[in-house]
Structure 1
Amino acid sequence: MSDLTGRTALVTGSARGVGKAVALRYASLGANVVVNYSGDTTNAERTVEEIRALGVEAIAVRADVSRVEEIDRLFAEAADRFGRVDIVVANAGVEIIDQPMLEATEKDFDRLYAINAKGTFFTLQRAAMHIADNGRIIYIGSSTTCNAFPGVGLYGSSKMGARYLVQVLAMEVGNRGITVNTILPTTIEGAGVFTDIADDDPYQQMSRARPLGGRMGRPDDVADAAEYFAGPLASWVSGQALLVSGGAQQ
């Protein structure tokens, strides 16, 4: 188990789902946490309460990552409250699945690329600008970027660019001891479009064929990987992408 006592973690999109699981994991390891959200104030405040119950400090900062000025404000508020940021997890994103490319609209494109591509780009850029030396930057990507899959052309492509950016950024900030890595989760039960998935949903059926456990992913599976990348065991690992998929290739 990693010891993150005295460190500050900023996790975008952490009011619920995967982001919340990562935020709670870091808090359980001793880190103070900046909970970012775009509109779900109730769940953001609940997450902050759960983090504080673990004996560390947390604040909730409402900021839309598709707006660069709000990303700047997010980092400024984190620095004002905690003095420094040691871990940044770029998790905020939106999904559209089961959508053939012929049905994707310009509105869909603009929304997904504004958050998943532009928002992540500038979150990672600002993280590199503001994070303390020897810090950890982590991008939560998607297993859809590993192999082509019908119905996720728009979503998968909006998540692809940041994978490349992670590799470039890892080389550009490595001289400061900062690592930059990607986590590629598969379908995660209880998160995103799978928040309230039924037991008989086709995605549940497909997941039963996964080599490990025969189930969908869970937020804590991603938090496990995020704990590794944030801790000392990954201090010499950078520019990498870790597929978290229960042994499946996507």
Structure 2
Amino acid sequence: MSKSSTRIALVTGASRGLGRNTALKLAQQGVDLILTYKDSESDAHEVVRQIEALGRRAVALRLDMADSRSFGAFADCVKSVLAQSWQREQFDYLVNNAGIGFQASFADTTEEQFDLLFNIHLKGTFFLTQKLLPLLKDGGRIVNTSSGLARFTFPGYAAYATMKGGIEVLTRYLAKELGSRGITVNTIAPGAIETDFGGGMVRDNPQVNAHLSSVTALGRVGLPDDVGGAIAALLSEGNNWVTGQRIEVSGGMML
């Protein structure tokens, strides 16, 4: 496959968790990767090594999703990487995955916590996508990451879920406004997943894991493979007519 016909995906927050799994699943489908990390440079380069072992090309770039002022310089860096590594001016897929999570009741959530969630999840996704639009090819695809918590409720996630609700609205607007370029935009909304997200509570607390499994139709909590595989499937060749949709990947939680 020539470099001009190679598909390239940019996945934010891909040094660990769902982003890492998504990047590896895409590489297995023959997609090259630009992946971002914030702190875990060694982990990011390990993902690059694993992608290269699958026969694909990958580059890791640092990005702080909370610092929207850095997005212009980041877009310039992506442009340079595309030219140097692929002799290309644009990439094909943008997966807005990077995020953080913590549990705090509505009454105890601080303004600083709220602002951090807002800056990373909602403002960050909004303006990073805006800065990268000139580098996303016509006919490309965007996948935004929401959460099952935007549909069902558990105490302690009011601020986090509010941001994810905003992501779902943003997805519909992007699908409408970018449709003229043939760009599809969809939301993936994971349910409870065994990762280190939010301190690894779902993975490491047997009582929490058992309770969430009991309210899930398929009888268990999710694994990174469940979500990474769903995103890779959404970005596969047969899904070019799906846009503006919220696709929950939760095994049927809280039905």
TM-score between both structures, scaled by the size of structure 1: 0.91
Contact persistence 1:136–1:229 (CA under 8 A): no
Please report how far the alpha carbon of residue 114 of structure 1 lies from its aligned counterpart in structure 2 after TM superposition. 1.1
Give the aligned partner of residue 79 of structure 1.
Answer: 79
CA distance in 1, matches of 2:131, 2:50: 27
Give the aligned partner of residue 92 of structure 1.
Answer: 98
Give the aligned partner of residue 68 of structure 2.
Answer: 68
CA distance in 2, matches of 1:206, 1:248: 8
Count of residues paired in the alignment: 244
Contact persistence 2:145–2:167 (CA under 8 A): no
Contact persistence 1:146–1:249 (CA under 8 A): no
Helix, strand or coil for the counterpart of 2:231? helix
Among 222, 236, 250, the alignment partner of 1:245 is 250
Q: Deviations over 1:46-90 (max 9, x none)?
A: 111111111111111001122224333333323322222100000
Q: Deviations over 1:113-166 (max 9, x none)?
A: 111111111123234332001101000111111133321101111222111111
Contact persistence 2:36–2:62 (CA under 8 A): yes
Q: Verify: 1:21 aligned to 2:21, yes or no.
A: yes
Among 189, 208, 225, the alignment partner of 2:194 is 189
The more displaced of 142-151 and 190-199 is 190-199
CA distance in 2, matches of 1:237, 1:96: 32
* Percent identity for Structure 1 against Structure 2: 35
CA distance in 2, matches of 1:23, 1:15: 9
Give the aligned partner of residue 212 of structure 2.
Answer: 206
CA distance in 2, matches of 1:204, 1:183: 24
Mark the runs of 5 or more structure 1 residues left unpaired by the alignment.
none
Q: Verify: 1:224 aligned to 2:193, yes or no.
A: no
Q: Deviations over 1:161-183 (max 9, x none)?
A: 11111100101111111100000
CA distance in 2, matches of 1:157, 1:76: 31
Mark the runs of 5 or more structure 2 residues left unpaired by the alignment.
83-87
Give the aligned partner of residue 153 of structure 1.
Answer: 158
Q: Which amino acid aligns with 1:198?
A: D
Report the RMSD for the aligned CA atoms in angstroms: 1.7
Q: Which amino acid aligns with 2:118?
A: Y
Q: Deviations over 1:211-245 (max 9, x none)?
A: 11x11111111112211221222111100000111
Q: Deviations over 1:86-119 (max 9, x none)?
A: 000000111012x210111111111111111111
Contact persistence 2:216–2:254 (CA under 8 A): no
Give the aligned partner of residue 34 of structure 2.
Answer: 34
